[in-house]
Amino acid sequence: MKNTILIVDDEKPNLVFLNNVLGADYSLFIARDGQEAIRKANEILPDLILMDILMPGMDGYEVLGALKSSEITREIPVIFITGLSSNEDEEKGLALGTADYISKPFSEGIVRLRVGNQIRIINQMRSIERMSMTDQLTEIANRRSFDQELNVEWQRAVRDMSPISILMIDVDKFKYYNDTYGHQQGDVVLQSVAKIVSQTPKRPADFAARWGGEEFAVLLPVTHEDGALILAERIRANVQKTIIPCQDGTNTSVTVSIGVNATIPTSEDSKNDFISKADNALYTAKGMGRNRVCKA
């Protein structure tokens, strides 16, 4: 997929030039004034913005200030494309947070290099971010990523007065399995369970993560208790019937216990209580003999 660039300029020759230079490598969007730039930046969330300083209405400095003051757009790097070349102009832009300058008249080589440098930095930072949000063993989301997703979905549920559910999942007798078959085989079990936990939910909004150790969590936005219980039982059954081979040719299997909690949260409710109730239901499932689903 191509990186996206929003070009903000009111002069057609500049737009034509930049389209010819960048169009083959990037997905380009156009805005011809400051207000349109702010609107499109919020809609598109481009990877990079190229923006003229001198425009009708809001100038580039004002637009940059508006972008940097918004939580949604503040991280989008902006390169000023401008004929202004004084030290004062450059200092003002840098103080507001511009990433770089491209001077007019344009040089094709300079445009390619400066844009390419910013895009490379963006992609590298995203790769690092993805790694920091992924559990290295199971290759699904980690606890940090889950906490971030829960914050977003919890706020949405409060705002929309919509239901939200959580599954807390624990591999039964995992220590015994590790002691019997070894830690490497225990890693295979965690990878197998992670695959089931992440692939059994089918909706794009459903979010599975490794919570820690042998425990997993699944967040289910806009889901009532009945729907969460059905999915939990499907995960439990899928794990139980999965054959996990060992290096010596023998086959093994494991089971999981699952705690389910569902709520329609208000601003007074606590995410920690939401999780704790699912955890308590999980321990109830363990106490009742494991390999079962219990609700809060």
What domains lie within the chain, and their CATH numbers?
Answer: 4-130 (3.40.50.2300), 143-295 (3.30.70.270)
Q: What is the pTM of this model?
A: 0.68
pLDDT per residue as tens, the chain (296 positions)? 899 999 999 999 999 999 999 999 999 999 999 999 999 999 999 999 999 988 888 989 999 999 999 988 999 999 998 876 666 767 777 777 888 888 888 899 999 999 999 999 999 998 888 888 999 999 999 999 999 999 999 999 999 999 999 999 999 999 999 999 999 999 999 999 999 999 999 999 999 999 999 999 999 999 999 999 999 999 999 999 999 999 888 899 999 999 999 999 999 999 999 999 999 999 999 999 999 999 99
Alpha-carbon gap, residue 219 to 221, rounded angstroms:
6
User: Could you tell me the CA-to-CA distances from 41 to 21, 67, 171 in Å, in that order?
Assistant: 21, 8, 44
Alpha-carbon gap, residue 73 to 58, rounded angstroms:
17
Identify whether the C-beta of residue 226 lies closer than 8 Å to the C-beta of residue 260. no
pLDDT score for 93: 73
pLDDT score for 131: 84
Alpha-carbon gap, residue 81 to 43, rounded angstroms:
22
* 105: preceding bond cis by omega (within 30 degrees): yes
Alpha-carbon gap, residue 31 to 57, rounded angstroms:
13
User: Could you tell me the CA-to-CA distances from 270 to 22, 128, 149, 168 in Å, in that order?
Assistant: 48, 31, 15, 17
Alpha-carbon gap, residue 79 to 117, rounded angstroms:
11
Identify whether the C-beta of residue 266 lies closer than 8 Å to the C-beta of residue 168. no
Of 282, 237, 233, nearest in space to 255 by CA = 237
Alpha-carbon gap, residue 49 to 56, rounded angstroms:
18
Alpha-carbon gap, residue 283 to 231, rounded angstroms:
19
The active-site residue out of 214, 215, 225, 233 is 214
Angle at CA 241, nearest 5°, toward 287 and 238? 75
Supply 194's token pair. Answer: 């992670």
210, β-bridge pairs:
216
pLDDT score for 96: 79
pLDDT score for 284: 97
Alpha-carbon gap, residue 35 to 16, rounded angstroms:
21
Is 214 considered catalytic here? Answer: yes
